Amino acid sequence: MGEGAGAVVMVIASVTFVHVVWWLVGDSVVTFGNLVDSDGYARLVRIQRLLETGAWFDVGLPRANWPDGGTLHWTRPLDVLLIILALPLAVLIGFSKALFWAGVLVGPLLMSTDSDAGMKAPPPMTRLFQATAP
């Protein structure tokens, strides 16, 4: 394994380790099957509504802010990513639970890929990161 690949593996392992320890020791929210705040639940309801209706451009949540309903300004790419992550798990545990776990795992997954992208930055960006590092 090359130096670059070893560094990528170390970053992914470090992010995974930190999140697993956080979930098991310090974060009782996820370990009890909950999300941190209402935004997470709104995202999952929005995704389930998208799958039920197929209305890609419908951003409304009719049960929010009763009786007027509400809208969400979020874009769909994260919704699609969560659906893609949930599909393999849905076969084993059902779609609702799979969507929950996709929501839990997407943060660490994106953090790992973001760290990997920073390590492969072109030289000017690498110098900038080194100049701003403590």
Predicted confidence (pLDDT) per residue in 5-50, tens digit: 677 777 777 777 877 777 677 665 665 667 777 788 888 888 988 9
- E-strand ranges in 33-129 read 60-61, 70-71
Phi, psi for residue 70 in degrees, rounded to 5: -145, 170
Residue 133: helix, strand or coil by DSSP? coil
Q: Please name the residues in contact with 80: beta carbons below 8 A apart, sequence gap of 6 or more.
A: none
Q: Is 0.85 topped by the overall pTM?
A: no
Domain count for the chain: 1
Question: Where in the sequence is the domain holding 61, given as residue range(s)?
Answer: 3-132
pLDDT tens, position by position, 38-94: 788 888 888 988 998 988 888 888 888 878 878 888 888 989 999 999 999 999 999
pLDDT tens, position by position, 98-125: 998 888 888 778 776 665 555 555 555 5
- Start-to-end CA span in the chain (Å): 29
